[in-house]
A and B are shown apart, each in its own frame.
Chain A
Amino acid sequence: MATAEIFFEHERWSRNLAWSLGLHVAVAGLILLYAVVGPSSHGAGWGAGGGGDAIGVTLVNTIPLPAPAVQTENVLANESKGLTQSLPKVEEKEKEPEAIPIPDKDVKPKKAPKETSTKRQKPQPEPVEANNIVPFGQGGPVSGPYGTFSAGEAKGGFGFTGGGGDFGTRYGWYVRVVQQKVQQSWLTYDVDRRITEAPRVYLTFDVLRDGRPSNVQVEQSSGIPSLDQSAIRAIQRIDTFGPLPSDYSGNKVSVEFWFDYKR
């Protein structure tokens, strides 16, 4: 039923969707043929919990490690205009150390769920409004509050806020740990399989002194409950990120994540 609603809400997608569907049908037809002809494997109960027989899932040994490659973008190397515009402003702010620990929610850009499906990893011009997010220094696989990654069929990005504004700069390694753990925690089979793509969901949460995540909030919903839920569960599933760096003076640090979903 949710499927139906999606279609009715976003009628302007119908043409794109028709194309998409057409391609899907063609591919699906091939898959169905393979499924009928090839070895049978039950896919029952994805995300539906127990019941049914044990299901065999084969490791494909030839796929090289690591499976989902982490792609991160160095903000400074990116040539999009939006970035170069915003960057100077942010650099200025670096000179005035602002210690605004809690992101101001009203300031978040109103990303309408009507985002197009061309989701490249272009960090949005949100840092212009969120003046308490401070970018990293140069270099590193994780850079800036717009550090990005991919997890299976999802792409995500995140930023660190709070703690004197320079947490990410000083503790890049910790940021990397958080990113890794969230990435590996988001088991995408939680998401309704009928969904092939969905708009971005924004989450925030805190990391406490002992490394526990807390206060997971959906900043901005994707419009698809199961996607929102899967993102929340990804954070809640984590016991600890490891204690915050011992020489960090704050009691917690705030993290903002966004997830894109596309299959």
Chain B
Amino acid sequence: MLEAKNLSKTYSSDGLDYVALKQVDLMVNRGDCIAIVGKSGSGKSTLMHLLACLDTPSSGEVIVEGSDTSKLSERSKNGLRNEKFGFVFQQFFLNGRDTVFENVVLPMRIRGVSGPQLAAEAGEAIAAVGLTDKAMKKAKDLSGGEKQRVCIARALVGKPQVIFADEPTGNLDSATGASVEDMLFKLNRENGITLVIVTHDEDLAGKCGRVVEMKDGYIVSEKVKEAAAV
């Protein structure tokens, strides 16, 4: 599904180079639930951004379904993110003045879907996170857990193959965090959506099938849990 080959990323500022990612190789298979862990500055977010085609590598390749993304145009990468990927961020990035519905349908609108199809797919995604009765509420009036569920619905609405979650429970208390986690794992188990979770929460990482630990831009260890997918 996703593959990083000899991936490096160097940031330059004021003439100083900072190597955030050093020759990383990683294979993400369809249906995987993979946690990327590490301290801040370890390169875990950079790796996720590169895998999600949000950023371009300094060297190496990101291969999505067998094709090298460095050869794709900006437009194709936009299309790829829009149709195959979903995103959940720690900070939600919801538009508080808009309704839950409007927030959820954003990827569909970007894709150019409208009318009954838009309403149907949005309804499905909102139902999947249990917010049907709040679909017409303003996003700012929701609790933190509900907000993150809206984000999951937004990530889910386009029927993506991969959901990238960057510290999805970072802003939530442990009880609501747990319910958000359950929701993500359920999508992985039942819908076969590949999950790539960036976190420094060890409990969350422990529930994932694979845990990739990063340090100083390198992958230092990878643990595979035998019965994760059950």
* A and B assemble together: no
